[in-house]
Structure 1
Amino acid sequence: MIERINLIPDEIRSKKKAGQRRPLIVGFLIVYVILLGTVYYYQKTRVKGKLNTMETIRKEKDELMAQNARYREVIERITLTQQRENEIRKRLNVISAILDNRIYWSEILKNITHTVPDGVWLTSMSTYDLTNVVGKGVKFSGTAISNSGIAEFVFALENSRFFGNILLSYTQKRELNGRDLYDFEITADLKGAKK
C-alpha cells in the first residue's frame, strides 16, 4: 500500500479546509435565519390572532356590560311598577274594607220612614258602638199617642231587615194640653245596611 505524502504546507492546507467550511457555515446561517424568520412569522401571527381575540372579547364584554345596564334599568322599572301595584292594591283593599263596612243610611232612613206608624213621632235617633260585638247600635227616642203605637213600631223594627235585638228601654206617660202622650226609648242592633 502506498502512503500518500502531502507536500502542501500546513498553512495552505488549513486555509483550504477553512474555505471548505465556509459554505457550510453560510448554509447553517441561512437555515438559521430562515428558521428564525419562520418562528418570528409564526409568533407574530399567533400574537396578532391573540390580539384579535382579545379585541373581540373586549367588544363582547362592552356589549354585555351595556346590556347588563339596560337589564338593570328594566329590572328597576319592574320593581318600581310592582311597588306601585302593591301600593294601589293596599289602597284598594282599604277602600274595599271601608265600602264593605259602610252603612247606607239613606236606605235605613227610608225604611224607618215607612216603618214608623201613624201616631208615633221620633224626636231623636243616634248610633253607638256595640260593646260585645263589632257593629253599631241605634237608639230611637220619640213620643206616641198610645202604647199600642209604640208596640206597633217595635214589631215593625223586628220585621225590618236592618235591625235586630230590638229592646224597649222605657215608656213613660206624660200629659200635654190635656192629652196623654207616651215618651219611649228603643235600642236596636244595626244588621243589614250593606249593599
Structure 2
Amino acid sequence: NPNILVITGSLPEMRELEMALGEATHIPVRNIPYLKGFPVSSSLLQSASLPKNASFFGIAAPILSYDEVRVDLVPEDIKLKKLIEQRAKDLMRTGVLALVFFVLIFFILITKIYFKSAYLKSLDSRFKVLNTEAQKLESDFEKISLMKNYLFNRGFSLEVLTELYDVSGLDLELNDIRFDEQGKFSIRGTAESMSAVFSFVDSMEKTKYFKDVKTKYTTKRKEAGRDLTDFEIVCDLKKET
C-alpha cells in the first residue's frame, strides 16, 4: 500500500482533487511543483510559472528520462561498423601501448648490459695493471728466494765441510766429496785401516749435520808396501731451517 500520494502539474486547479483523494484514500497527499526538479535557469523557471492554469509537465518530464524514451534511428549495420571501428581503435591502442612497454623494457635491458660491460672493462683494465705488478713482485720474490737459498746453501756447505774436517783423522785421505739439493751426501777416500773407516762413520753419526751414515763399500789394497783401504760413505744431510 502507498504511504503518500504526490500531485504535480497545474497545482491551482488541483486543490479540490487533493482534498478528494485524501478523503477517499485516507492517504496523505502532497503537491510538489514539478519545475523545481528540472535543471533550468531561474529566468526560464519564472517564465514557465506564469501560466497558472497550464502545465508543462508532459513536455518537461521526458527530459529527465531521455535515455529511456529516446528512439535510436541509426541502422544496425552502421552500429556494427562503429563498434568494429571502436574495437579496432582499442586494439590498436593496446598494441601501441604493448609495443611501447616492450621497447621500454628492451631499452632498460640494453642500458643495464651497457653499464655492466663498461664496468667489466674497467675491472679488466685494473686487473691487467694489478696482474703486471703481481708478476713483477713474483719475479722479484723468486730472485730474492734464489739468492737467499744460494747464500744459505753456501753457508751450509762451508759448515758441513768444516764439521767433516773436524771429525776426520790424520789416518784418512778424502779424495771425493759430493752432495746434491736433495741432501744426499757421499765421500770417497782412503784409510790406513778398516777400523779408521768405522771410527770415521761413528764420528759422523754424532754430528748435527749427518744422518743415516753407511759404508757403501770398502776395498783393501797395497801401495808401496802399506795396507790401505779404499772406501765410500753415503748419508743424508740434516739441514737446519
Q: TM-score, normalised by structure 1?
A: 0.50
Rg larger for: 2
Q: TM-score, normalised by structure 2?
A: 0.41
